[in-house]
Structure 1
Amino acid sequence: MPVTDIHSDPEALTMTIVADFNAAPERVWNVFTDPRQLERFWGPPGWPATFTRFDFAPGGLAQYHMTGPDGETSYGRWEFLTIDEPRSFEVLDGFADENGDLNGDIPTMRMVFAFEPTATGTRMDGVTHFASVEALEQAVGMGMVEGITQAMGQLDIVLQQLRDYAAGKGTQVEVLDDQRVRITRLIEGPRELVWRAHQEPELIKRWMLGPDGWAMTVCEVDPAVGGAYRYWWEPAEGTKGEAFGFDGTTLLSDAPRRAVTTEHMTGTDYPSTTNDLQLYEEDGATLITLLITYPDAATRDLVLATGMADGMEISYQRLERELLPA
């Protein structure tokens, strides 16, 4: 986790975040000032950012929105005040409406990002200045500390080349908190095909099978928002296990980048999970990121103990073998 310290100073009306990165200052500077890289981490898991404007010059504006798993949207904007490349830049940060106009109900904040070299890479000091103690307390109450920590926790992926970060590591599982688990897997193939492999029944039935000896006998998918899906697996003769399935609804679809669905075990009263699938392509390889939200820690641990990750890895290997060109 890059964040090493976050502390507030009510007398100075500031909040300071310190983060250390194993990358040169110029590389860290680039990910904070290139909107396509910035939007890969500016927003906590489950709320990715999309920058629609980025005029990186004093007096220029950046406009963005973050989209939650249910499709809800939060808008924000930066006004660039000073830029001292590659050492620091300063912005006036505020919540906005869909047109980019500031929300007058929430005070703006002045944020200063400073980068300095260290023996192992780069240290970032991010200082946010508030207009009043009430504004500082409001930001803390809205989850600013947790949001920044989680957002910065995604930077390790962005700073490295995709293959350096994930190639050959198989299916990786990271427990984020009591309810959320992040699963990543690099697929050596284009994002468009990986997206289709998750959306089109004739492709899904060829790879989403888990261990050998199982067949998907039902695969019905309506990928539109509000549409339903249903999967059903049955064991082949001689394979141990009982038939089972999942059903759910599509909450969000942004082809070919993101799909959010609910998932419920068919025929049971088990609570549903929310599965947030995101795809990112770099140099012909696609990183699958699946953020699963469970109702509680007990359910999370129960599911992980079933060997879910092992079954997913077998399926991903089959996806590469069956659907991707040699």
Structure 2
Amino acid sequence: MNQSAFGLGALAGVLAGAAIGFWWLRRLRPRAGGRVARADDAHQAVFEQWPTGALVLNAATLQIVAANPAALHSLGFTLEEVRQLRFGDLFSAAGLDVRALVGKLLDATARLPVEMRQRCKDGSQRNVEANCYRLTLGEEQVFGVAVNDVAARREADTQLLERHQQLDHLAHHDQLTGLPNRLYLAAHLPGDIEEAKKAGSMLAVLFLDLDRFKHVNDSRGHETGDKLLKTVAQRVRSTVRVEDVVVRMGGDEFVVILKGVQHTGQVSETAERINQALSAPMVVDGRTLVTTVSIGVSLYPHDGADMGELLRHSDTAMYQAKDRGRNNFQVFSPVMD
């Protein structure tokens, strides 16, 4: 369970215990007037409207003396029916008698509840989680039990996890092309370098910059430029292996990470394929566009030991490719600095 779900569970347990206590206190004292009466009504409403199950047990006999509507709905009993039952008639846990189960519930917390089986009026059973509160109100000893449907909690956890994954994907992927973005690269490239170090293999960083893309944007408009970038992303992705990573850094810049490189010829072949793929005409909105790309290459461990060095040296090599007429790739050399 993630931290958000823990927090929500803890809050629910504390408030459920408070609702039970408020209800029992109202039951014990005579009806008052004015502000006190209004407060009593509010406490009763909290108990009755609490969205998860809440039960009150006689501490000596474990007879159920009260249940809120959520508990009655889950169990399928009326209030009159449930008051004829003891806690052990409805709840059980493997290997524990009812007193041991209640003891375990008393030791539990809202963040670490006890899982048990609940028997419903129709004979069905479901997994629930619960914790218990020892309440001394007036001269009476009662237990307040907060019960939550495990299926509902797990569904909420799943929804939270899915939402987190969606947000994480949005944060680490480019909205236009769907490719991983700069944040993704910063989070994963150091780990890729470490893996290459452990495996004793090479890793290549290819820095791509489209040639004369500004001219396309200025002459055809940004909408056409965006469509061209999407086509470029698809072509680059199709030229590399599944395990390799294609990142859009922003604008018309892309980075390709080649993992598990066995020899430098493998890198040169990939860079050449990218040059060829992007120099082929592209049809955007019925018009044929031609673009090319300049590529700079750096290799781990030869050209750098960390992400900063590898990106900087591949960027330097890319500008060498620009200076040498564009539409080519250059491998970093110390003389370029």
Q: Same fold (TM over 0.5)?
A: no
TM-score (norm 2): 0.20
Q: Return the structure number with greater strand share.
A: 1
Query: TM-score under structure 1 normalisation?
Result: 0.21
Higher helix share: 2
Q: Higher relative CO (CA 8 A, sep ≥ 6), structure 1 or 2? A: 1
Larger Rg over CA atoms? 2
